[in-house]
Structure 1
Amino acid sequence: MGKAENSRIALPVGSNLDRFINKNQEAFKYATGELSQLIRDLAYAGKVVNREINRAGLAGITGAYGSENVQGEEQQNLDVAANIRFTRALKKGGEVAAIISEEDEDIIDLNNPRSKYIIAIDPLDGSSNIDVNVSIGTIFSIYRRISPAGSPVQEEDVLQAGKHQVAAGYILYGSSTMFVYTTGKGVNGFTYEPSLGEYILSHQNMKMPKDGKVYSVNEGSYRSFDDDVKAYIETCKDRGYSARYIGSLVADFHRNLLKGGIYIYPSTEKAPNGKLRLMYECNALAMIAEQAGGLATDGKQRIMDIEPESLHQRVPFFVGSKHMVEEASK
């Protein structure tokens, strides 16, 4: 075992995020410090958003913003606030050349032409649950730009297949706040300790069970599912599996990551290409799932092999325990 692998495994649970990043930086093939700083910038913005979520009811910033985003979805006040917080943190950090965000129709050029990275982000996933105090999250993907540093950002820098991600993660804002990420060397989770203002390593080298007894799908749309999807859901019921659907992608995924299960958002009559976005939802969670021993497909092919055609491209999504996804994809 190499030095980098040894340091990654030996790090004790209870270490803070900064120490973990420093200890593991050399395991990353582009280890020059920029990626480490970028992850810190995301973690910091997550603290700010966590604070605003926790005080949202008292501050009167819950509810609808009064406009729709590029998806045609009604924006919540905290959608807008989270998008601003992450964009501002990444711009000031200086390590990101451009951002793809769920909340913006076009690429956000941060005017950092020498920066080496591109971020795809859903600043606040599940925001329709804010008003009822249900867990929500942030999802992010990190890509290394293809065009030379110092030149304008090109379309090829932004529209990369998920297999080219150099890191991915999510922040879950729930009963506790967690920062979970991977750089392709396993998945690690950090729980936020507000009295210290630190993310503490709480879930080291996370592994998704190969099988599970939970299926997560919006059964309200059952009648519009393909027959194959209906057949798989009936199989789950026949086996006595539990139906668990929160309606916040990060929360449903996180539960299945820890306990085993499958999350399904198939094509429907209303959304023939699926509803979830490839670039800033599916690719990130697919990378985390695979690093934890799970799988992610669109029902036919591996999610991370799909070549994107547009910033806000939608795909059907099957993600979770390996054996369950394999069976569902048949």
Structure 2
Amino acid sequence: MLQDEAAPSAVREVLGVLGEACAEISRLVRSAAVAGQLGAAQTVNVQDEDQKALDILTDELLTARLSACAHVAALASEEQAEAISTGRTGGCLVAFDPLDGSSNVDVNVSVGTIFSLRRAPDTRPAHAEDFLGDGRSQLAAGYAVYGPQSMLVLSFDARVMAFSLDEHGAWILTEPSLQVPAATKEFAINMSNRRHWRAPVAAYIDDCLAGREGPRGKDFNMRWVGSMVADVHRILMRGGVFLYPWDAREPDRPGKLRMLYEGHPMALLVERAGGRATDGVRPLLDRTPPSLHARTAIVLGSAEEVERVRDVG
């Protein structure tokens, strides 16, 4: 899949393993109904969230493939409480969300896998604390989206590339350099939570909804899939802004989404594609998670809209 010599050999090897695993996950998702692998697993993960059968299968698959890779020193999954050390030194640390949006899988809505690579210590086995750097310390990041077409989007340098899965299970480069338009007329947010937002976020959305007659002077469309990987993929392909703000129902949590598994990798991709990504105030890539499963508010996408949300936040 990835032959570019600009990527260090360890990064190329790990991305290759991730690409093969994502191709296999694509087949699992496509055949889940026939194989009887849809539905709840009657278990909860470390986030206290109900797991789907595919959450467990994809987590096990990625854990096995990455643990066997000679260039992976440790891995951390959104589905597991602790990081797993392979005992190796050097190479990469890999954090991943094995099946983002899995609550939608039973109704055949796009879901995906998100991943992030960081540098592992050279002189000792890796610990959980080694994952807790800021977002700019990522060596590479990406996601696979399993939809009408399965696509793999990743970045290991200044570019963001997209690959499409062919009928033989190979990833073919179809978008060599994605760019997020600076301006947009689309926003993605869960409007049912409006009453729980801070006033500036509600005011921003109200201005968008006011349309051509309002202060923005243009009509906006709202899009909301309920699967972050699908919403962000749309933004990378054609622009838009995605918001998952702080929610008053859980006032002690800074947000809903995980910084390590979702915020940092998606922020890296969006910024390298010319967009912006913040927690509503600060750049997400400047943030350091205090723990493996720390949460954050997220605003990312077309630069002009993200900056506007930051101004009102």
TM-score by length of 1: 0.89
Alignment of 1:136-215 (within 5 A): 136-145=111-120, 147-149=121-123, 151-194=124-167, 196-215=168-187
1:220 matched to which residue of 2? 192
Equivalent residue of 1:220, what SS?
A: helix
Alignment of 1:82-161 (within 5 A): 82-111=58-87, 113-145=88-120, 147-149=121-123, 151-161=124-134
Equivalent residue of 1:189, what SS?
A: strand
Provide the alpha-carbon RMSD of the alignment.
1.1
Equivalent residue of 2:20, what SS?
A: helix
* CA displacement at 1:148 relative to structure 2: 2.5
Match of residue 43, structure 1, among 9, 14, 19: 19
Q: Whole-Å Cα distance in 2 between the matches of residues 225 and 274 of structure 1?
A: 11
**1:61-93 C-alpha deviation (Å, 9 max, x unpaired):** 101111110111000000000001111111122
Return the letter of the residue paired with 2:275. Answer: G
2:290 matched to which residue of 1? 309
* CA displacement at 1:308 relative to structure 2: 1.4
Return the letter of the residue paired with 1:44. Answer: E
Detail structure 1 runs of 4+ shifted over 6 Å in the superposition: none
**1:34-72 C-alpha deviation (Å, 9 max, x unpaired):** 110100000000011111111100111101111110111
Equivalent residue of 2:232, what SS?
A: helix
Would you say the 8 A contact 1:297–1:303 is kept in 2?
yes
* CA displacement at 1:172 relative to structure 2: 0.3
Would you say the 8 A contact 2:90–2:122 is kept in 1?
no
Return the letter of the residue paired with 1:102. Answer: E
Q: Whole-Å Cα distance in 1 between the matches of residues 127 and 31 of structure 2?
A: 39
Q: Whole-Å Cα distance in 2 between the matches of residues 108 and 50 of structure 1?
A: 24
**1:81-138 C-alpha deviation (Å, 9 max, x unpaired):** 0001111111122211111111000111223x13421011000000000100000000
Match of residue 242, structure 1, among 221, 224, 229: 221
Q: Whole-Å Cα distance in 2 between the matches of residues 73 and 155 of structure 1?
A: 22
Equivalent residue of 1:170, what SS?
A: strand
* CA displacement at 1:155 relative to structure 2: 4.0
Q: Whole-Å Cα distance in 1 between the matches of residues 296 and 93 of structure 2?
A: 21
Would you say the 8 A contact 1:209–1:258 is kept in 2?
no
Q: Whole-Å Cα distance in 1 between the matches of residues 93 and 209 of structure 2?
A: 42
Equivalent residue of 2:79, what SS?
A: coil
2:214 matched to which residue of 1? none
Equivalent residue of 1:67, what SS?
A: strand
Equivalent residue of 1:267, what SS?
A: coil
Q: Whole-Å Cα distance in 2 between the matches of residues 191 and 271 of structure 1?
A: 39
Q: What is the aligned length? A: 302
Q: Whole-Å Cα distance in 2 between the matches of residues 63 and 42 of structure 1?
A: 25
* CA displacement at 1:192 relative to structure 2: 0.2
Return the letter of the residue paired with 1:217. Answer: I
* CA displacement at 1:154 relative to structure 2: 2.8
Return the letter of the residue paired with 1:326. Answer: E
Equivalent residue of 2:68, what SS?
A: helix
Q: Say whether 1:286 aligns with 2:267.
A: yes
| Percent sequence identity over aligned pairs | 37
In structure 1, stretches of 5+ residues that fail to align are 1-16
**1:172-192 C-alpha deviation (Å, 9 max, x unpaired):** 000000000001221000000
Equivalent residue of 1:55, what SS?
A: helix
Would you say the 8 A contact 2:152–2:162 is kept in 1?
yes
* CA displacement at 1:257 relative to structure 2: 1.3
Equivalent residue of 1:93, what SS?
A: coil
Equivalent residue of 2:74, what SS?
A: strand
TM-score by length of 2: 0.94
Alignment of 1:22-33 (within 5 A): 22=3, 24-25=4-5, 27-28=6-7, 31=8, 33=9
Q: Whole-Å Cα distance in 2 between the matches of residues 271 and 252 of structure 1?
A: 23
